[in-house]
């Protein structure tokens, strides 16, 4: 590895396990080591020839504890007179000159009091403006005199008047497009570059800021055009805007390509039929499903954002009746094919959304006629606001809803992915890698992050089900009879996830099931959980541990998919580490990464175990492919060291075709001297009796497999020999 990659390090909410809720931009969080910690880490990394990459959060700040955030506290204290009123995105007119804070419960009279000169609601504290409590008035009266209004949490969906990160009330958006806001929120970050402590940045959620391209220009000027990556989710054939000053994305696009080349296309139709048979409702096509889930988000938890856009247009759309504008705006947002456009760039995405919206809602044609000239005008504030909003609708409607309803093959419902694309051919995979090498060679490639729905090795094991759809149907049928839930798609999703991560603890699986069920929103939900349903859901999880018949079924399918799953895992890892792009190895994923959705994927990593296993590998051990994951550590170490030590071997991308009856089971490419060989569809390969006489033709020169140390003379080589110990090989020209 040649870079250390840090999650956000600026001061965050106390106890934050991720750092994306920054409360103060002026210093590094003491719990993360403070300034001295960064200096020490930077010195240690640089002394080893390593760079330091830090994640930054320009779009929003944490406001769960108002007193911890000096900007937010001052805003609440002084309202529109606060210097920081310009920093936050507040619609003061809509709140009658007060900012609405959705923290109150459902009690008839809020339990407010005055404690130590602050307004208290249970353990939460809020500032009291000067002179508003001097007359000894009661807490409710004092509250009514403040620049903020504490409101019931349920009112946030439609009545909030400040921009958030998605629908998270405790993360308030800031306006980095304002020069002084950028300067003050980035002063500490700029210091890191001035003092040569940090070498690159990962920008969280750039689609949330008003103009990502301009923001990246500002960032380049402030950091001397440092290496910058952006958490940009690309949809389908979408490309990152070429004018952005960024080296690439954080790699979800690469993740999707690698996953899909390991899925057996022959399993699609049988898994389609299984998926349809377990759902009482007619199966929707993917595009219709996500339209409906996005529309539900636009009409639900993000309605306040849609209504704000409508209010911004009110003076220009006076002829529209009440509800027409927001209905049409919500429909356009629900039809957007990508996270957002960047007008005037990306106009084709806006036009595609409009065409789909007109098709779905011909009754709104005249409303669209009025709105479109306004919403497609890059200078119109409402158009700018829509661009900031469509990404929220996409993320919440697709990643956090539809992905939990669409269970045909759970490994395909991953961030940035389109599960309607079941698999890709070898030719398509190679074409996408050639494009990556040509266009964004310094973009990240990843398999696991803090946001992935399932760790890379969970997905690799679930991929195996595409090779045995009949066996999975039989197993799932038995498990559903043993632990009935009454929600077929969720049952499939849960059992696939249990199989993929087994053996996981009971506690982890209960937590995952609750989140998955509530995110799906079909049978229960966050706002109004269905207790009876959730009792059955938890009973399903318990059956994996306590019901002998269910445990037997689970053990049998896990045994069936474990070895092929590990083969897929090693293939995916080697491809990711050697294909075009800059590989990102998420914490702990050098061994089997069997995490589920956050916070499960943020668990503590056992670095002591990794040091122990690495010492054995460096001592010459070639571990078996087993539950320890040491074989994956060997592959990871060998690949990363080769890229670091012999960069000249990674200068191009050339697909390699196998010759023989098992050719379709090999993914192979030459990076300019380093040749990757990886097995795909291992169950099918085993069923045909292995590699047989299948060969691969390489340059006639001495080579070594850096994973096993085996040496060859090049030329036409048998895959049964090259892949006799591991399902992968990394060949490099022998050094003289």
Q: Do domains 3-58+177-231 and 654-733 have the same CATH topology?
A: no
DSSP 8-class letter at 96: T
Give me the residues of the chain with pLDDT under 50, please: none
Q: Which residue has the tokens 């474990």?
A: 562
The domain locations on the chain are 3-58+177-231, 66-172, 284-408, 458-560, 654-733
8 A C-beta contact, residue 518 and residue 511: no
Q: Which two tokens stand for residue 313?
A: 């247009």
Torsion of CA 88, 91, 96, 99, to 10 degrees: -30
The interaxial angle of helices 365-375 and 347-360, nearest 10 deg, is: 170
Residue 1: predicted pLDDT: 59
Q: Which residue has the tokens 């937010």?
A: 72
CA 131 and chain centroid, separation? 47
Angle at the Cα of 28 from the Cα atoms of 24 and 33, rounded to 5 degrees? 145
Cα dihedral sign, 474-479-481-482: positive
Read off the pLDDT of residues 645-685 as tens digits, 9 standing for 90 and up.
Answer: 999 999 999 999 999 999 999 999 999 999 999 999 999 99
Q: Which two tokens stand for residue 220?
A: 């380049």
Phi, psi of 125 (to 5 degrees): -125, 145
8 A C-beta contact, residue 165 and residue 205: yes
The interaxial angle of helices 506-520 and 488-501, nearest 10 deg, is: 150
User: Checking DSSP bridges between strand 148-152 and strand 99-104, what pairing results, if any?
Assistant: parallel
Contacts of 267 (CB under 8 A, 6+ apart): 465, 466, 467, 468, 469
Output b/e per residue, 360-382; b: 16+ Cβ within 10 A.
ebeebeebbebbbebbbeeebeb
One-letter-per-residue 3-state SS of 233-272: CCCCCCCCCCCCCCCEECCHHHHHHHHHHCCCHHHHHHHH
Cα 54 to Cα 13, 18, 230, 489, 521: the distances in Å are: 18, 13, 12, 39, 35
Q: For 440-483, where are the alpha helices, taking DSSP H only?
A: 456-463, 469-482
DSSP 8-class letter at 647: G
Alpha-carbon gap, residue 28 to 96, rounded angstroms: 37
**Burial (CB count <10 Å: 0-12, 13-18, 19+), residue 155:** middle
Residue 417: predicted pLDDT: 87
Of 409, 571, 628, nearest to 497 by C-alpha is 409
Q: How many of the other CB atoms lie within 10 Å of CB of 43? A: 11
Cα 230 to Cα 318, 391, 432, 550, 699: the distances in Å are: 39, 14, 20, 44, 38
CA 639 and chain centroid, separation? 25
DSSP 8-class letter at 224: T
Of 598, 2, 593, 576, nearest to 251 by C-alpha is 576
DSSP 8-class letter at 159: H
Of 507, 505, 483, nearest to 495 by C-alpha is 483
One-letter-per-residue 3-state SS of 474-490: HHHHHHHHHCCCCCHHH
DSSP conformation letters of 609-628: HHHHHHHHHHTT----SSTT
654-733 CATH? 2.60.40
Q: Map residue 336 onto helix, strand or coil.
A: coil
Residue 717: predicted pLDDT: 97
In CATH terms, is domain 3-58+177-231 a member of 3.20.20.80? Answer: yes
Angle at the Cα of 515 from the Cα atoms of 510 and 520, rounded to 5 degrees? 130
Q: How many of the other CB atoms lie within 10 Å of CB of 505? A: 10
**Burial (CB count <10 Å: 0-12, 13-18, 19+), residue 280:** exposed
In CATH terms, is domain 66-172 a member of 3.30.1590.10? Answer: yes
Torsion of CA 304, 305, 309, 310, to 10 degrees: -30
8 A C-beta contact, residue 433 and residue 579: yes
Contacts of 235 (CB under 8 A, 6+ apart): 337, 338, 339, 416, 418
8 A C-beta contact, residue 128 and residue 121: no
Q: For 81-211, where are the alpha helices, taking DSSP H only?
A: 139-144, 156-159, 179-194
Cα 42 to Cα 202, 434, 438: the distances in Å are: 16, 34, 32
Residue 320: predicted pLDDT: 87
Alpha-carbon gap, residue 550 to 540, rounded angstroms: 9
Cα dihedral sign, 312-315-316-317: positive
Cα 27 to Cα 9, 34, 45, 108, 115: the distances in Å are: 9, 7, 21, 41, 29
Read off the pLDDT of residues 553-608 as tens digits, 9 standing for 90 and up.
Answer: 999 999 999 999 999 999 999 999 999 999 999 999 999 999 999 999 999 999 99
**Burial (CB count <10 Å: 0-12, 13-18, 19+), residue 20:** buried
How long is the chain? Answer: 736
Of 445, 331, 469, nearest to 397 by C-alpha is 331
8 A C-beta contact, residue 581 and residue 444: yes
Alpha-carbon gap, residue 691 to 663, rounded angstroms: 8
Alpha-carbon gap, residue 637 to 614, rounded angstroms: 8
Determine if the peptide bond prior to 503 is cis (ω within 30°): yes
Residue 736: predicted pLDDT: 62
In CATH terms, is domain 458-560 a member of 3.40.50.970? Answer: no
The interaxial angle of helices 303-312 and 286-299, nearest 10 deg, is: 70
8 A C-beta contact, residue 462 and residue 300: no
């Amino acid at each position: 590895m040649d870079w250390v990659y840090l999650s956000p390090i600026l001061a965050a909410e106390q106890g934050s396990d991720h750092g994306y809720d920054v409360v103060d931009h002026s210093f590094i969080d003491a719990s993360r080591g403070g300034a001295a910690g960064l200096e020490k880490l930077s010195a240690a990394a640089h002394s080893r020839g390593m760079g330091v990459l830090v994640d930054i959060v320009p779009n929003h700040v944490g406001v769960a504890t108002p007193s911890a955030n000096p900007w937010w506290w001052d805003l609440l204290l002084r309202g529109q007179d606060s210097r920081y009123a310009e920093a936050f995105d507040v619609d003061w007119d809509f709140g009658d000159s007060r900012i609405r804070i959705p923290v109150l419960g459902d009690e008839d009279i809020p339990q407010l009091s005055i404690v130590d000169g602050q307004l208290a609601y249970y353990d939460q504290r809020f500032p009291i403006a000067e002179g508003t409590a001097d007359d000894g008035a009661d807490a409710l009266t004092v509250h009514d005199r403040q620049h903020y209004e504490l409101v019931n949490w349920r009112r946030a969906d439609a009545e909030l008047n400040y921009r958030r990160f998605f629908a998270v009330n405790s993360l308030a958006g800031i306006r980095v497009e304002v020069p002084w806001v950028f300067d003050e929120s980035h002063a500490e970050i700029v210091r890191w570059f001035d003092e040569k402590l940090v070498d690159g940045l990962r920008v969280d959620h750039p689609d949330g800021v008003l103009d990502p391209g301009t923001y990246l220009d500002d960032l380049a000027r402030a950091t001397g055009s440092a290496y910058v990556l952006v958490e940009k989710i690309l949809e389908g054939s979408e490309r990152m805007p070429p004018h952005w000053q960024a080296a690439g994305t954080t790699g979800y696009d690469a993740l999707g390509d690698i996953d899909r080349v390991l899925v057996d296309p022959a399993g699609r139709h049988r898994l389609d039929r299984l998926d349809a048979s377990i759902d009482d409702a007619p199966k929707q096509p993917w595009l219709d499903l996500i339209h409906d889930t996005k529309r539900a988000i636009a009409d639900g938890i993000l309605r306040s954002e849609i209504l704000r856009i409508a209010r911004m247009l009110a003076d220009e759309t006076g002829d529209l009746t009440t509800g027409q504008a927001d209905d049409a705006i919500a429909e356009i947002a629900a039809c957007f094919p990508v996270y957002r456009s960047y007008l005037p760039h990306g106009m084709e995405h806006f036009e595609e959304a409009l065409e789909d919206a007109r098709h779905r809602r011909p009754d709104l044609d005249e409303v669209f006629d009025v709105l479109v000239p306004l919403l497609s005008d890059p200078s119109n504030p409402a158009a700018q606001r829509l661009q900031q909003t469509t990404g929220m609708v996409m993320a919440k409607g697709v990643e956090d809803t539809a992905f939990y309803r669409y269970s045909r093959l759970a490994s395909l419902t991953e961030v940035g992915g389109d599960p309607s694309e079941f698999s890709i051919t070898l030719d398509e995979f190679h074409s996408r890698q050639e494009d990556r090498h040509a266009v964004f060679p310094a973009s990240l490639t990843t398999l696991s992050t803090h946001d992935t729905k399932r760790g890379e090795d969970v997905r690799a094991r679930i991929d195996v089900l595409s090779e045995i759809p009949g066996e999975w149907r039989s197993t799932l049928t038995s498990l559903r009879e043993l632990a009935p839930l009454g929600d077929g798609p969720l049952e499939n999703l849960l059992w696939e996830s249990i199989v993929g991560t087994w053996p996981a603890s009971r506690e982890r699986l209960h937590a995952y099931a609750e989140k998955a069920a509530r995110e799906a929103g079909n049978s229960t939900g966050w706002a109004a959980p269905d207790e009876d349903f959730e009792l059955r859901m938890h009973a399903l999880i318990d059956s994996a541990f306590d019901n002998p018949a269910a445990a037997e079924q689970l053990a049998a399918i896990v045994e069936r998919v474990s070895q092929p799953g590990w083969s897929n895992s090693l293939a995916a890892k080697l491809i990711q580490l050697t294909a075009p792009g800059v590989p990102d190895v998420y914490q702990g994923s050098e061994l089997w990464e069997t995490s589920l959705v956050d916070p499960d994927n943020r668990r503590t990593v056992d670095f002591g175990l990794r040091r122990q296993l690495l010492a054995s590998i460096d001592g010459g051990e070639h571990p078996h492919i087993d539950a320890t994951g040491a074989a994956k550590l060997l592959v990871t170490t060998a690949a990363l060291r080769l890229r670091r030590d012999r960069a000249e071997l990674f200068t191009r991308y050339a697909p390699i075709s196998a010759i023989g009856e098992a050719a379709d089971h090999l993914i192979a490419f030459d990076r300019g001297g380093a040749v990757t060989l990886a097995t795909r569809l291992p169950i099918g390969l085993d069923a045909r009796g292995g590699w047989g006489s299948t060969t691969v033709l390489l340059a006639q020169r001495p080579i070594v497999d850096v994973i096993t140390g085996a040496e060859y003379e090049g030329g036409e080589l048998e895959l049964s020999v090259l892949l006799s110990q591991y399902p992968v090989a990394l060949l490099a020209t022998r050094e003289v």
